[in-house]
Every structure is written in C-alpha cells, then in structure tokens.
C-alpha cells in the first residue's frame, strides 16, 4: 500500500511511510470554519407522525440516532411496530379518500409549493441536522441536498394541475396510498424525491426513513405540519428493517417505492409479487467512469473525485470504477494523487471539509472488509495519509490500481470512498468492461468528441450516462436503473408515471 501524503508537517499518520510525497507545505491548510449548530434545536425524543399528530409508538420502543462523526447520541426516535404502521396506513387511506384525491390539482400544488418555500426558509437548519445525523460534509448538505430537495417540491408543484399534459391528454388517476422506504445516504433529498411526485399525483404517503438518519425526515414532518397539509396526507414512521417490512406487507398499500440495497430490494420484490401493489426499486450501483485519451483531463479529475470521494462514496450512482484509456493511465493517476492530496477529511460541520464521516460503524466495517479483499486479491492500494479523528467512523479516500474485473472491489458496491481503477484500449473494450456488472444505474464518459459520448450512451446499460460531468441532478431529469439496479424512474415526466394509473 502506498500513502498519498500531503507533506504538511505532522499530517501523515496511519500506514506505512509514504512511497511518495507531495510537498504542498501549508498551501492547502485552512483555519477551521465550522458551521455552528447552536441555533439548531434537536429534540431529545421524536414520536411518529401519523394522521397529522405526533404519536407515541404502541410498542413503547425507541432507538438512538447518533452523530457518526462524534459517536454522540443526538436523539431518541420512536420505533414503529406493525400496529403503528397499520395506523399510519389507515390515516393515509382516510386522507386520500376524504381530502387529497378529491382536491383539484391546483389546490394540491399550493401545498406542495408551500413545502418547497418552507424548506428554503429552514435550509440552514436542515443542512446542519443532515450533516450531524448522517456525517456528510456541510458543503454537500448545504449546497446540494437541501436546495435540490426544495427544487423537487417546486418542480412537482408545477405538475400537480398539469398531469393531463404529462400523459398526452389521457387522464391520470392517483394510485392511493404509497409506502415509501428510503436509505441513509441522502435522507432529506430521498424523502423529497419520494413525497413530492406522490403528492403531486394525488396520492397520500407513509414514509419510512433509514434508522441511522431519521432526523431530517422528522423535520420535514414538522414542515408539513406547519404548512397545514390535511392530516394523514403525509405520515412518517421511523424504525429499522422490520418497520419497512411491515409497510411492504400491509394490504392497504397501493404502491411501494424503495431506494436501498439490492438485497433488500429483491426481498421486497418477492414480498409484493402476486399482490395489487405497484413497485419501483432504485437499488445499488457500480458505475463506470470512462476516461478517453482525448478527454479534458483536469476536468475529468474533478468529476472522478466528486464522483467517488466527496460524500464519502455514499452514493448509489457513485463512479466507483474508473476505466482509463491505457495511454493516459499514468498521467491520470499522477493528477488524481495530486488532487487527492489537497482533500480535507474531518469535521463534517467545517465548511472546508471534503470528506466527512462514514455513516455508521456497520458501514465502516463493510468498507474495511471489501478493501482488505482488494489487497488480498492482489490489487495495489493507495490511500490518502490523513489525520483520522479519534472519535467517529472514518475511512481515508482510497484507490486501487492493478485490479482485475473479477475482483470483489470491481464487482461489489462498496458504498465508501474507494475507487477501483482499470484500463481499456478501444471504445468497445470500455463498453464491455463498463457493462460487465450486475448493476446499471449510471456511467460517465469523458472525451472531447460529442459523437463518442452519444455512441457510448447508446451502448452503456445504465439509467443515466453523464458526458464530461458526473453526479449532476435535476428534478426534470429521470433517474433510475437497469438490471439489478432496479426499475422505474424518479424525476421528470417519467417519474410521475410511477404514481398514477393512466386511463
Ligand atoms: P443500505 O445498504 O442503503 O442501508 P438497506 O436496503 O439496508 O440499504 O436499507 C434501506 C432502507 O430499507 C432502510 O430504510 C431500511 O430500514 C429498510 N429496510 C431494511 N430491511 C428491510 C426489509 N426487509 N423490508 C423493508 N425495508 C427494509
């Protein structure tokens, strides 16, 4: 293993002595610039949001949610049992029949618009809580997660009274009650992705956030309460896998929308088989970022690092495989190391932090296990030698060279800041290698030839192909997978289709 060393005094810590050192001196050192959480109020205890009321769980059970950067407990959160899920589904059904399905689209739009505005007003607080509960850098939650979530509500507010135009003049009916289960990597944004289109199309919702990151979904429930949505239109039930399974199994649910691991997605698919429930799944990924020799290399380096390292690689569409045209392999590796050496890992609330904390201990163990397998299988590991805070869950940005396509690090989703680099000689070989995965969520192509991007995009089996950029999102752009990355699209006109019956 080699360390990528900043060269700043006292910085390198872990691992063997650096095999090379980049001496930037103090050029990249910044004074701490932490965002203050002082004005943010996190309650000691959160109940379930059912039928417009904050309700204690029938099980009387609560679980802790902790800050993964400090291991400090942030709050206790209710654990919804099957009985609580049932109450939430009943509340959603009542709200569907009594208010929401009957309400003209232009009235629904006003509520959705109001939520979008309220998110903007509370953006700072939401970003801080997102960062504290999930470990992601504040610049990610502040500049991406929360504004994009607001954008999803604005976008869908616009569709609520125009659905007939989305389906070419055909009438679109809501499905009924949508059960929505989301993961921990974009807790607030995923809630927005799920709730906004469901509401725009006239459905009511029972949403279950992930057990390690429930807080911002609960803040969203508070926003929904303040926006005076009719009771039961949105219900938030917190809990772990058993709560999610109770939602999936509930006979009163008309549609399940799930984002999470492929393993759980398959379990859900089996559970809803043969029922009336509609299903969309957005699952794992092992995206290939393909860099041709004629690519704008410096720009590609930015796309590579933002695609896998920022946000700790906690992104299902992360560019976790890098395919380099052989002739630029060495120059890209050199520039990548230089760029990585400028990255800062540490306090997620610091505005200069690039790499935050790993979301949970369990996830850190999984990353370590897969990285160890990469070394064992013979790939060469390069990790940034950086100061790892004493408390919390952390993993330094790492890439592997000399990896084979059959290695676990090239096949399995690591969900951490770990990049597996391989090479190719021809576009066909790049396509074959990029498609050599059970996943198909996203891909990136870097070249100065637009025609090459279009050619690759038609051949790559991925729901999203980015050209000369990576990880760009817009509410009007449908997102979803091929193969074991799932089915159905979220966002855009296509995303509305998942929440309606078209006559
Ligand atoms: P990740 O690897 O992203 O944590 P998971 O698939 O384990 O993905 O979790 C995603 C979401 O699915 C979480 O909200 C989790 O609580 C929920 N979940 C886990 N197991 C089940 C299950 N058997 N049925 C329904 N939801 C589940």
Please tell me if the CB atom of residue 314 comes closer than 6 angstroms to any atom of ligand 1. Answer: no
Q: Are residues 329 and 433 both part of a single domain?
A: yes
Residues 181, 217: contact at Cβ < 8 Å? no
Please tell me if the CB atom of residue 210 comes closer than 6 angstroms to any atom of ligand 1. Answer: yes
Q: Whose CA is nearest to atom 26 of ligand 1?
A: 244
Please tell me if the CB atom of residue 7 comes closer than 6 angstroms to any atom of ligand 1. Answer: no
316 is catalytic: yes
User: At 255, which CATH number?
Assistant: 3.40.605.10
User: At 372, which CATH number?
Assistant: 3.40.309.10
Query: Does residue 38 fall inside a structural domain?
Result: no
Q: Which helix (H) or strand (E) holds 360?
A: none
Q: Are residues 436 and 304 both part of a single domain?
A: yes
Residue 266's contacts (CB-CB under 8 Å, 6 or more residues apart) are none
Query: Does residue 73 fall inside a structural domain?
Result: no
Query: Does residue 473 fall inside a structural domain?
Result: no
35 is catalytic: no
Q: What dihedral angle (degrees, nearest 10) is formed by the CA atoms of 388, 391, 395, 397?
A: -40
Q: Are residues 131 and 245 both part of a single domain?
A: yes
CA 444 – CA 452 distance, rounded (Å): 12
Query: Does residue 472 fall inside a structural domain?
Result: no
Structural domain tally of the chain? 2
Q: Whose CA is nearest to atom 3 of ligand 1?
A: 260
CA 156 – CA 360 distance, rounded (Å): 32
How far, in Å, is the centroid of ligand 1 from the Cα of 149? 21
How far, in Å, is the centroid of ligand 1 from the Cα of 305? 27
Residue 407's contacts (CB-CB under 8 Å, 6 or more residues apart) are 373, 374, 377, 378, 379, 420
Residue range of the domain that includes 200: 45-66+79-283+481-502
Q: Are residues 25 and 59 both part of a single domain?
A: no
Please tell me if the CB atom of residue 241 comes closer than 6 angstroms to any atom of ligand 1. Answer: yes
Query: Does residue 171 fall inside a structural domain?
Result: yes
Task: Name the residue among 246, 218, 206 with its Cα closest to residue 46.
Answer: 218
What is the DSSP-derived secondary structure letter of residue 482? S
Q: Are residues 247 and 297 both part of a single domain?
A: no
How far, in Å, is the centroid of ligand 1 from the Cα of 472? 25
Residues 420, 373: contact at Cβ < 8 Å? no
Q: Are residues 290 and 263 both part of a single domain?
A: no
Q: What is the secondary structure of 386-402 as a DSSP string?
A: -PPPSSS-----EEEES
Please tell me if the CB atom of residue 245 comes closer than 6 angstroms to any atom of ligand 1. Answer: yes
Query: Does residue 294 fall inside a structural domain?
Result: yes
Q: What is the pLDDT of residue 31?
A: 87
Beta-strand (E) ranges in 386-480? 398-401, 418-424, 442-446, 464-467
Query: Does residue 392 fall inside a structural domain?
Result: yes
What is the DSSP-derived secondary structure letter of residue 229? P
Q: Are residues 10 and 59 both part of a single domain?
A: no
Return the residue matching tokens 């993964």: 68
Q: Enumerate residue ranges in the chain where pLDDT < 50.
A: 5-21
Cα 398–chain centre separation: 20
Active-site residue, selected from the candidate residues 47, 201, 211, 316: 316
Instruction: Point out the ligand 1 atom lying closest to the alpha carbon of residue 211.
Output: 16
Q: Which helix (H) or strand (E) holds 216?
A: helix 215-226
Please tell me if the CB atom of residue 237 comes closer than 6 angstroms to any atom of ligand 1. Answer: no
Residue 144's contacts (CB-CB under 8 Å, 6 or more residues apart) are 189
Please tell me if the CB atom of residue 284 comes closer than 6 angstroms to any atom of ligand 1. Answer: no
Return the residue matching tokens 């009542």: 94
Q: What is the pLDDT of residue 26?
A: 57
Q: Whose CA is nearest to atom 19 of ligand 1?
A: 241
Choice from 250, 264, 283, 314 to test ligand 1 binding pocket (greatest atom count within 8 A of CB): 264
Q: What is the pLDDT of residue 22?
A: 53
Q: Are residues 163 and 311 both part of a single domain?
A: no
Q: Are residues 277 and 296 both part of a single domain?
A: no
Q: Are residues 178 and 251 both part of a single domain?
A: yes
Q: Are residues 296 and 432 both part of a single domain?
A: yes
Instruction: Point out the ligand 1 atom lying closest to the alpha carbon of residue 183.
Output: 10
Three-state DSSP class for 46? strand
How far, in Å, is the centroid of ligand 1 from the Cα of 210? 7
Q: Whose CA is nearest to atom 7 of ligand 1?
A: 261
Query: Does residue 476 fall inside a structural domain?
Result: no
Instruction: Point out the ligand 1 atom lying closest to the alpha carbon of residue 264.
Output: 6
Task: Name the residue among 96, 208, 193, 92 with its Cα closest to residue 495.
Answer: 193
Q: Are residues 210 and 292 both part of a single domain?
A: no
How far, in Å, is the centroid of ligand 1 from the Cα of 24? 43
């Amino acid at each position: 293993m080699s360390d990528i060393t900043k060269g700043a005094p006292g910085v390198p810590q872990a691992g063997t002595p650096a095999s090379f050192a980049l001496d930037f001196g103090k050029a990249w050192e910044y004074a701490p610039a932490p965002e203050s959480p002082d004005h943010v109020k996190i309650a000691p205890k959160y109940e379930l949001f059912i039928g417009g009321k904050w309700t204690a769980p029938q099980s009387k059970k609560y679980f802790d949610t902790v800050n993964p950067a400090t291991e400090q407990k942030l709050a206790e959160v209710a654990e919804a049992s099957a009985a609580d899920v049932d109450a939430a589904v009943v509340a959603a059904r009542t709200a569907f029949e009594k208010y929401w399905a009957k309400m003209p689209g232009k009235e629904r739009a006003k509520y959705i618009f109001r939520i979008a505005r309220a998110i903007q007003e509370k953006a700072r607080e939401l970003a801080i809580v997102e960062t504290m509960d999930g470990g992601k850098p504040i610049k990610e939650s502040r500049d991406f997660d929360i504004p994009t979530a607001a954008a999803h509500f604005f976008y869908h507010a616009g569709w609520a009274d125009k659905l007939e135009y989305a389906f070419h003049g055909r009438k679109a009916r809501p499905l009924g009650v949508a059960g929505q289960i989301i993961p921990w990597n974009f807790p607030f944004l995923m809630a927005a992705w799920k709730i906004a289109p469901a509401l725009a199309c006239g459905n009511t919702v029972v949403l279950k956030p992930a057990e390690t990151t429930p807080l911002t979904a609960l803040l969203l429930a508070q926003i929904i309460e303040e926006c005076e949505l009719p009771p039961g239109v949105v219900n938030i039930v917190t809990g772990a896998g058993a709560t999610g399974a109770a939602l999936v199994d509930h006979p009163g649910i008309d549609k399940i929308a799930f984002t999470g691991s492929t393993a759980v997605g398959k379990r859900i698919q089996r559970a809803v088989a043969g029922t009336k429930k509609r299903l969309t799944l957005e699952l794992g990924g092992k995206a290939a970022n393909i860099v041709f020799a004629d690519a704008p290399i410096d720009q590609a380096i930015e796309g590579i690092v933002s695609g896998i390292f920022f946000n700790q690689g906690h992104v299902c569409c992360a560019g976790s495989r890098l395919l380099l045209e052989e002739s630029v392999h060495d120059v890209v590796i050199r520039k990548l190391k230089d760029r990585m050496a400028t990255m800062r890992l540490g306090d997620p609330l610091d505005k200069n932090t690039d790499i935050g904390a790993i979301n949970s201990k369990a996830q850190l163990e999984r990353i370590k296990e897969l990285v160890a397998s990469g070394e064992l299988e013979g790939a060469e590991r390069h990790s940034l030698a950086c100061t790892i805070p004493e408390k919390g869950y952390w993993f330094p940005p790492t890439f592997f060279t000399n990896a084979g396509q059959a290695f676990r690090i090239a096949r399995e989703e690591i969900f951490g800041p770990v990049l597996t680099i391989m090479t190719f000689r021809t576009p066909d070989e790049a396509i074959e290698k990029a498609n050599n995965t059970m996943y198909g969520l996203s891909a990136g192509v870097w070249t100065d030839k637009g025609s090459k991007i279009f050619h690759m995009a038609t051949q790559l089996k991925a729901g999203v192909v980015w050209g000369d950029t990576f990880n760009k999102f817009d509410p009007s752009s449908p997102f979803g997978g091929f193969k074991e990355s799932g089915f159905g699209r979220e966002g855009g006109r296509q995303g509305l289709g998942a929440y309606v019956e078209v006559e």
